[in-house]
Amino acid sequence: MKIGIEAQRIFRKNKHGMDYVILQEIKELQQMDTPHEYYVFVKPGEDCCVESSKNVHVIELKCPSYPLWEQWALPRAAKKYGVQLLHCTSNTAPIWCNIPLILTLHDIIFLEPRDKNNSSLYQNLGWLYRRLVVPRILKKCRRIITVSNFEKQNIMSKLHIPEERMAMIYNGYNDWFRPLAPHSSSHTSKSPFFFLGNTDPKKNTERTLVAYARYLEQSEIKRDLLMADLDRNYLDGIIRRNHIEHILPHITMPGYIPNDELPRIYNEAFAFLYTSLRESFGIPLLEGMACGTPVITSNTSSMPEIAGPDAILVNPESSDEIANAMLRLETDKNFYEKQRALGPQRAKLFSWRHTAEQLFQLYEKESNAQSLQ
């Protein structure tokens, strides 16, 4: 069977969660002995991170915008190459396409109440595009894949999708996320807290910074906070509103951190703050745990499902709870060591190979179903 895989953004330099998911799935499929041919459709970019192989053909499609690429160039190319099943991997798909579709719907945040304070044009346009497209394509999708049991139940409930049309396939993590050296001095050194915040309100940056301010007021060590990929004007607004100017000398912001640098950063961090309001899976949560770095995460959405019952789970809407968890890690050595040991064991339950094997099994079912028609 000829299977098309939409991977529009994997060649861009600054990749994000959905890009890494399909990139790793493609790389695993390349290593598997499967009877299918895969046609991977991408937009040209700086980082040519996957090449064609015996059963995987990488096709670059030039088009000026995301909507035009997906709605016009993608179905046109899929038809040209004789694709019999098209897997769209990033929440949306072509509205006018007569090829059977599989959709990976990572989340349905676009249907939930919108934070009116979100001034990001990119995020707001993406939200509007998904609201326009997704309701129009759901009935055309043979199967809908999502990435956690939490999100599966959420989609079924809010979009009235029957369970037989759903598939849940967990994400994985790359095996270079692992402990790099003994952390014997982590409990007493000034290694920093690490936080992957951005301007998306669901990342809970404001409450986390307020929590950090309260931590500094009570801590004897006063560890720094390393923050990645955050707009400086956004940070300044949070600091002014909350009168927490005293945190500024303790904050380091290196900008976007490439994925291959993250294992070192997780390993050098005292703890990782993953205090989102909502996640459909949370790959960084898994990466931090795999590195043996204690993770403070939220007790909402999918995060307890991924982190497990023994993780540090806090109410993300309570800055006091976040701060107290930071202080406990710093003052309770036994608790800290327990969390360090817990992470790598929990992470072993997830892998990209297992993700790709489940995806292949789904392709097989759809291939067999089409051959019987």
Residue at 180 is within a domain: no
Q: Higher confidence at residue 97 or residue 184? A: 97
213 pLDDT tier (thresholds 50, 70, 90):
very high
Q: Provide the number of structural domains found in the chain.
A: 2
The reported pLDDT for the residue numbered 173 is 95
137 pLDDT tier (thresholds 50, 70, 90):
very high
Residue at 178 is within a domain: no
At residue 188, does pLDDT exceed 60? no
Q: Higher confidence at residue 208 or residue 230? A: 208
At residue 248, does pLDDT exceed 70? yes
Residue at 181 is within a domain: no
The reported pLDDT for the residue numbered 96 is 94
Residue at 12 is within a domain: yes
pTM for the complete prediction? 0.92
Q: Rounded mean pLDDT of the chain?
A: 93
Q: List own/partner pairs for 287-290 with CB under 8 A and 24 or more apart.
A: 287/173, 287/174, 287/177, 287/262, 287/263, 288/194, 288/343, 289/342, 289/343, 289/344, 289/346, 289/347, 290/173, 290/177, 290/178, 290/343, 290/344, 290/347
260 pLDDT tier (thresholds 50, 70, 90):
confident
Q: Can you tell me the mean pLDDT for 214-232?
A: 92
Verify that 265 and 281 share a domain, yes or no.
yes
Verify that 133 and 217 share a domain, yes or no.
no
Using DSSP's 3-state secondary structure scheme, residue 67 falls into: helix
At residue 306, does pLDDT exceed 60? yes
Residue at 79 is within a domain: yes
Verify that 44 and 100 share a domain, yes or no.
yes
Domain coverage including residue 236: 193-347
For residue range 3-13, list pLDDT tens digits in order.
999 999 999 99
114 pLDDT tier (thresholds 50, 70, 90):
low
Verify that 161 and 66 share a domain, yes or no.
yes
78 pLDDT tier (thresholds 50, 70, 90):
very high
309 Cβ contact partners less than 8 Å away, ≥ 6 residues apart = none
Verify that 312 and 211 share a domain, yes or no.
yes
Residue at 73 is within a domain: yes
Residue at 183 is within a domain: no
Q: Higher confidence at residue 201 or residue 333? A: 333
Q: Can you tell me the mean pLDDT for 49-76?
A: 96
Verify that 156 and 12 share a domain, yes or no.
yes
229 pLDDT tier (thresholds 50, 70, 90):
confident
At residue 116, does pLDDT exceed 90? no
The reported pLDDT for the residue numbered 127 is 82
Residue at 186 is within a domain: no
User: Which residue, among 313, 331, 334, has the nearest Cα to 322 in the 3D structure?
Assistant: 313
End-to-end CA gap in the chain:
14
Verify that 63 and 6 share a domain, yes or no.
yes
Report the CATH number that the domain containing residue 6 is assigned in CATH: 3.40.50.2000
Verify that 85 and 227 share a domain, yes or no.
no
Q: Tokens 């307020």 correspond to what residue?
A: 210
Verify that 341 and 358 share a domain, yes or no.
no
Verify that 112 and 42 share a domain, yes or no.
yes
Q: Can you tell me the mean pLDDT for 63-76?
A: 95
Verify that 152 and 224 share a domain, yes or no.
no
Verify that 210 and 318 share a domain, yes or no.
yes
